[in-house]
A and B are shown apart, each in its own frame.
Chain A
Amino acid sequence: SQWGEENLQALSIQEGEDVTMNCSYKTYTTVVQWYRQKSGKGPAQLILIRSNEREKRSGRLRATLDTSSQSSSLSITGTLATDTAVYFCATDRRNSNNRIFFGDGTQLVVKP
């Protein structure tokens, strides 16, 4: 899982497997965003889940949010080699001038 203070996490799986990545955040947030960064590119948003939502789906992606435990997860079903990337969660914070705060990221390698 990723957290503001933890080092980059790494996962290696075989194509076709399902994977879940976790994110814990420290303070109140109104949204959790999940981003994916492929090698040589900037991060790109995958999914946004609001604090009043418990689950959000987009294709093979499923994000969950548990505000009581201040954690979120991103699941990918039927992974492809092209899912190989670093995955970041990002949250906003109260009194942060609408800035978002990125976690340390999870490096996912999907082997063909």
Chain B
Amino acid sequence: NAGVIQTPRHKVTGKGQEATLWCEPISGHSAVFWYRQTIVQGLEFLTYFRNQAPIDDSGMPKERFSAQMPNQSHSTLKIQSTQPQDSAVYLCASSSGGAREQYFGPGTRLTVL
């Protein structure tokens, strides 16, 4: 079991460019979560899928951010027109459902210049 896989591990974009982050959950897990982590804001919840359906996107900025889960083996987080304040570590986690243990990936460090 390779755990949750996130790619790329590091991404540098220029202001205004698009960034797409990928997450491959643990096989068999039904829930996928996205978080953003910065020194200032800490660990922020963004969005949550269960059985590929969006369940809670209350943490997603209303503009420029979108997430999808087209199949059970991967999810993407897309940020359009990236801004310097989007610089953060984006973490993906999966779980077998319920309020159970979440298994986190190593994160993608996004730097917007």
Contacts and interface: CB of A to CB of B under 8 A. Distances in A.
Interface of A: 8, 30-31, 33, 40-45, 48, 88, 90, 92, 96-102, 104-105
Contact of A102 (B43, B48, B50, B55): B43
Contacts of A104: 42
Contacts of A88: 43
A14 to B, nearest CB: 25
Interface stretch (B12-20, B62-70, B74-82, B90-98): B90-98
B25 interface: no
A88 B101 CA distance: 13
13 contacts: A8-B42, A41-B107, A44-B104, A45-B102, A45-B103, A96-B56, A97-B50, A97-B56, A98-B99, A99-B55, A100-B102, A102-B43, A102-B45
B99 A40 contact: no
Contact of B106 (A40, A99, A102, A105): A40
Nearest to A104: B42
Contacts, number: 54
Contacts of B102: 43, 45, 90, 100
B45 A48 contact: no
A99 B45 contact: yes
Contacts of B31: 98
Contacts of A90: 102
Contacts of A33: 101
Nearest to A42: B104
B93 A99 contact: no
A98 B98 contact: yes
A34 to B, nearest CB: 11
Contact of A99 (B4, B43, B48, B105): B48
B91 A30 contact: no
